Structures are given as C-alpha cells and as structure tokens.
Chain A
Amino acid sequence: MNNNGFLFDTALDLIYLVSCSVNKTAPEPARVEAMNLQNVFRLAKKHSLTTAAAFAVEQAAVLPDYFLEAKSKAVRKLALYDIERKRVTDALESNKIWYAPLKGSVLKWCYPKTAMREMTDVDILCDSSRMEDVSKIMQELGFSCKQFGNGAHDTYVKPPAAKFDMHRTLFAENRQPLLSEYYRDVKNRLHRCENLSYGYHMTVGDLYIYVLCHLYKHYRFSGTGLRSLLDIYVFNKTHGSALNSGYINAELEKLGLKSFEAEVRSLAIKVFNGKHLNQSEKDELMFFIESGSHGSYKNYTLKALQNDNSKNRKTKYLIKRVFPDKETVKANYPVVYRHSFLYPALIIYRPVKGLIIHPKKLLREFRRVKNYKPTDNKGR
C-alpha cells in the first residue's frame, strides 16, 4: 500500500469518528478497536479535529492518554478564548467601537458541542477607522501586538496560547481583490446584535457566503483541511433549510463561486454521511486531507505550477521564489515595499535565511518542482 493509500485509510477512520460526533451517532466499538488510534490522532491534530474525534472515541472505547491530554488542552484553549473574547468585546462596547466576531467564534454554535470546533485563533472584525484604539485596548488587556497595519488584520497574542486577529477588512485588496471589493462596505451587510450597542452579526446567508469565500481563499493557494469541509457540512446541517438559496446563488454568481460551492457542499455531505465517492471525489477529498488545517506548502507549489510541468513554467516559478513580485513584497515585507532600495538586500536575505533556518524544506521544494508532473494536480 503506498503512502497515499495509507493516509487515505487513516483519514477515513478520522472522518468516521468526527461524523459520529457531529451526527450524534455512537461509533461501532469493533470499528474503533480496529483503528490505529495513534495514526488517527496524528492526523486529527494536523486538521484541528482532535476534540471532535475524541468525543466519538470515548463513546466506544477508553480514550488513550495522549488523546485525553490533547483534548483537555484543546478545551482549555477554547475556554480561555471564550473568556478573553468576552473581555475584548466588552472593552469594544465600552469604547463604542463596532465589531463582529467571525469564523470559529460563530461556527462553533453549529456543532453539537462547541468544544468540537477547535480554534487556533479568534477573529473579530472591527471598525477600520478605529484600529489604533483597538490596538490600545488589546494592549491594556495584556496582549502584545505582533503585527499591525499590514494586510487584512492586526495580530495580538497573550500567554498561554491566545491569538486574536482583529480585522480591519475581511479580505486584503492586494491578495483577493474581487472578494475585497465585494466586502468593501461590509458594515452594510451586518446587523446589530440584540442587547448590544456595538456588537454585530451577519445573517445566516451572508455568513455562509463568507465562510465559503474564506474557504476558497485558502483552497486556491495552499489548500485547506478537513475542518473546513466539516464546517460546510455542519453549517448546512444546522441551517440548510433556512438558507435562501436564491439569494446565496445570486451572490456566489457575482463572486464566481457558485459551482465551487455546489461541489464543496456535495462533497461535504457525501463524506460526512459515509456515502460512496467516485474517483474524482476521492481525489478532491485527498486534496483536503493532504492540506491540513492551514494548507500545505506542497499544495501551494502545485497550484503555483498550474498543471504545467514545462521547463519554462518551473523556471518562472523558481525565479519568482527568488525574486518576489511587487504584490508579494507589499504583503510580506512592507518596509521593503516602502523603501524599494532595500529590494536587493531582500533578494539575498530570503534564500540565506532559508538555507540557515530550514535548508531541508528548501531542498524538498526544489525537488518537488523538479519532479512535478501534471497528474499530481487536480487542475484547480
């Protein structure tokens, strides 16, 4: 059995477990006993599905210590996020800054237990004209600012593990211009929460569109993992009947995402209901499996090569990696972007840094590009 077959089989076990959790069915003890739970655990961690899997395992077997410890750690993190989120939003209310929690903070309510929906950070959209005030508030609450003024959000961290991304916009103009334009006046798409003066939320339909756009943003570049697919499944399971398909389809048409949504939704429903998949669906699922929660560098490389293994394409890719274009510099090296005379130094700095810090990663990338064949890519 090749590596991919082994990985796929482990993923099917993980999918079975999380499906049981979200569908509120008890897993078959015999099937759980037959699993290599160490392998399932490792894959679950990669996809931020440890708690979702753990809830299922413990219904059919004794949860192994490593699984229990990881579940406990994840639940603690989620609890700390809840506590910090309340502090942050209370402070935003007091300071009259409008805000809207995003992503996991909202999606978790679609799951049978909120603890099944792990989060690596908390995302909150804020009034873009008040980001300096937001920064002051976050620092007064004990957060350190890790990134400010670059891209769609500012990043704040606080021990032991809290990471908050405070968004000025939903999508960065230089990276996702179409999505950025669509959400230019995002506040017009929000509704004030009851009992709050400055807290806002999206309608269920707009939330679904946003979740899909966010999924596509990652899928298009380095890929996105099983948790994203699970989000689509549980969202449809929870809100499906309330979704105004006419409105949603019209909006997705504007974004060029209508067929993408249909494919992802169909795949999600089949996967998490244990239905038979055709070869194309298996390939698509494999892409999610190989990506992990935050995409993979392998998928980033494959997408950049765009199903073209010509020497010309590969050379262009490698040149672009050594000589980043204007958009890449603007997004990742804002100081160099503002002071273009530093560009030659950047050209030297990047590969030298890579060779010192992660030489094997560079070598893997080089080999991947050199050996790339179009059949590795599903052509998206």
Chain B
Amino acid sequence: MRLNPNFIKHTMDGVTLVVPTAEAGFHGLVQGNKTVGVIVDCLENDTTKDAIVDTLCERFEGNRADIEADVANVIGRLKEIGAIDGE
C-alpha cells in the first residue's frame, strides 16, 4: 500500500498534515504528531503495515502491540478518506 497521489504530506508549525488536492474526493484535513509523520513518510513508497511498525519500533520507544494499534488506527483513518492505495 502507499499514499494516494491526490494526498500530499506537508509539515506546518511542526504538525504533520495530509493535504487533499482538488482531485481527491475528501476536502478536509488530517493532522497528527511525529508518529503520523513517520507513518506517512513510509507510505510515500509502497510498503506494508508490518514494515511501518518495524520502522516505528526502531525510532520510538514503546510496546510493539501499542505501536501496531497506533499504526492500524492511522492507516484506518487514511483509508476512510481514500488517502491510501492498495492493501
């Protein structure tokens, strides 16, 4: 899976934003912390949920199960708005 090209990652005032362009069906805004930023960075290339979790485990302290849940939550939100292509 990867980020749909109609959504662009942008950082403003230290906050990660996932910004829909005019072609996206969604016209809101997704914003999040550094964790969201790393997840979206991973999604800029074709990747898997497990690979994203591995990356986060390397970068941040925390229980793998908790990190998996966070990743699943973020991916779920992005899928809901059509920001992710593939599985």
Q: Are A82 and B21 in contact (CB under 8 A)?
A: no
B residues 27-51 near A (Cβ < 8 Å) are: 27-29, 31
Known: A72-B28, A72-B29, A160-B27. A79 touches B13 (CB 8 A): no
The reply to whether A159 and B22 form a contact with Cβ atoms under 8 Å apart is: yes
Cβ-defined contact, B22 with A83, below 8 A: no
Closest Cβ of chain B: how far from A61's Cβ, in Å? 20
Q: Does the CB pair A114–B22 fall under 8 Å?
A: no
**Residue A254, interface by CB 8 Å:** no
* Chain B 1-39 interface mask (CB, 8 Å, partner A; 1/0): 000000010101100010111100001110100000000
A residues less than 8 Å from B22 (CB atoms):
158-160
Knowing A113-B13, A160-B21 touch, does A83 contact B29 (C-beta < 8 A)?
Answer: no
- Give chain A nearest CB distance to B80 CB in angstroms: 16
Query: Is A82 a contact of B10 with CB atoms below 8 Å?
Result: yes
Shortest Cβ distance from A162 into B: residue:
B22
- How far apart are the CA atoms of A83 and B28 in the complex, in Å? 16
Question: With A72-B28, A72-B29, A160-B27 known to touch, is A79 a contact of B10 (CB < 8 Å)?
Answer: yes
Q: Which residues on the A side are within 8 Å of B17 (C-beta)?
A: 75-76, 79
**Which among A72, A115, A158 is the interface contact of B12 at CB below 8 angstroms?**
A115
CB pair A80–B21 under 8 Å, yes or no, is: yes
Task: Classify chain A: how many residues form its interface, as a range.
Answer: 10 to 19
Number of residues in B with C-beta < 8 Å to the partner?
Answer: 13
Q: How far is the CA of A257 from the CA of B31 in the complex (A)?
A: 43
Assembly CA distance A83 to B8 (angstroms): 9
Q: How far is the CA of A115 from the CA of B15 in the complex (A)?
A: 11
A78 on interface, CB distance cutoff 8 Å: yes
Q: Which of A79, A113, A114, A158 contacts B19 (CB 8 A)?
A: A79
Given contacts A159-B22, A160-B21, A160-B22, contact A79 B27 (CB under 8 A): no
Could you say which residues of chain B place their CB within 8 Å of the CB of A160? 21-22, 27
Distance of A82 Cα from B15 Cα, bound (Å): 14
Taken together as a complex, chains A and B put the C-alpha atoms of A78 and B21 apart, in Å, by 12
Sample (29) of A-B pairs whose CB atoms are under 8 Å apart: A72-B28, A75-B12, A75-B17, A75-B29, A76-B17, A76-B20, A76-B27, A76-B28, A76-B29, A78-B12, A79-B10, A79-B12, A79-B17, A79-B19, A79-B29, A80-B19, A80-B21, A82-B10, A82-B12, A83-B8, A83-B10, A83-B19, A114-B13, A115-B12, A158-B22, A159-B22, A160-B21, A160-B22, A160-B27
Smallest CB-CB A-B distances: 8 pairs? A159-B22, A160-B22, A113-B13, A76-B29, A79-B19, A79-B10, A72-B29, A79-B17
